[in-house]
Amino acid sequence: MHIIIIGAGDVGYNLAKMLSYEQHDISLIESEHTRYVKAAENLDAQVFEASGTSYHVLENAGIKKADMLVAVTNSDEVNIIAALMAKKYGVAKTIARVKNREYLNEDAPLNAEKLEIDLLIHPESVVAQNAVRLLKQSAATDIIEFAKGEINLIGIQLDKGLPILNKPLKDLAQEFQNFPFRLVAIQRKDITKIPRGEDVLLKNDRIYVVLPKKNVPDVIKATGKENVNIESVMILGGGQTGMLIAKELEEDYNVKIIESNQDKSIDLAEQLRRSLVIRGDGRDINLLALEGIIEMDAFISVTGDDETNIISCLLARHLRVPKIIALINKSDYAPIIPTIGIDAYLSKQLLTVNGILKFIRRGSVVSIASIPGITAEAIEMIAEPGSKITQKTLAELKFTKNAILGAVMRDNEVIIPMGNTRIEAGDKVVLFALPTAIRELEKLFTR
Give yes or no: residues 162 and 108 share one domain: no
Q: Does some domain include residue 378?
A: yes
pLDDT at 278: 95
Report the SS3 class of residue 391.
Answer: coil
Residues 6+ apart with CB under 8 A from 156: 139, 140, 141, 206, 207, 209, 219, 220, 223, 225
**Of 218, 271, 213, 212, residue with least CA distance to 240:** 271
Tell me whether residue 217 is in a domain: yes
pLDDT of residue 140: 75
What are residue 393's phi and psi, to 5 degrees?
-70, 165
My answer on whether 100 and 169 are in the same domain is no
Whether 438 maps to a domain, the answer reads yes
Are 149 and 181 in contact, with CB atoms under 8 Å apart? no
Task: Tell me the per-residue pLDDT of 198-227, one tens digit each, with 9 for 90 and over.
Answer: 899 998 888 899 999 888 888 888 888 776
Say whether both 10 and 96 belong to one domain: yes
* 342 within a domain of the structure (yes/no): no
DSSP β-ladder status, 191-193 and 377-382:
unpaired
Read off the pLDDT of residues 105-117 as tens digits, 9 standing for 90 and up: 888 888 888 888 9
327: in domain: no
Can you give the residue range of the structural domain that contains 415? 357-445
Q: From CA 243, how far away is CA 323, in angstroms rounded?
A: 19
Residues 13 and 86 in one domain: yes
Which of 197, 222, 247 is the last residue in one of the domains?
222
Cα–Cα dist 405/416, whole Å: 8
Same-domain check for residues 162 and 140: yes
Q: For position 261, which CATH number holds?
A: 3.40.50.720
Of 321, 345, 374, which residue is a domain's last?
A: 321
Looking at the fold, whether 113 and 134 belong to one and the same domain comes out as no
Look up the pTM and report it.
0.75
Q: Are residues 313 and 367 in the same domain?
A: no
Could you tell me if 308 and 364 lie in one domain? no
Domain boundary at 272, 304, 321, which?
Answer: 321
Q: What is the pLDDT of residues 299-341, one digit of tens each?
A: 999 999 999 999 999 999 999 998 899 999 887 787 777 677 7
User: Quick one: 113 and 166 in the same domain?
Assistant: no
In this structure, are 290 and 362 located in the same domain? no
Q: What is the pLDDT of residue 175?
A: 85
Cα–Cα–Cα angle for 129, 263, 306, nearest 5°?
50
Asked whether residue 329 is domain-assigned, the answer is: no
3-class DSSP assignment, residue 211? strand
Same domain, yes or no: 144 and 111: no
Q: Can you tell me the distance from the alpha carbon of 140 to that of 129, in angstroms, rounded to the nearest whole number?
A: 15
Residues 6+ apart with CB under 8 A from 332: none
Mean pLDDT of 140-167: 84
- Up-side HSE of residue 143: CA atoms within 13 Å toward CB? 23
In Å, how far from its chain's centre is CA 406? 18
**CATH number of 161's domain:** 3.30.70.1450
Answer yes or no: do 206 and 273 share one domain. Answer: no
255 in any annotated domain: yes
What domain count does the chain have? 4
* Within a domain: 339: no
Beta bridge partners of 25: 2
Q: Which residues pair with 119 in a beta bridge?
A: 95
Task: Tell me the average pLDDT across 265-284.
Answer: 93
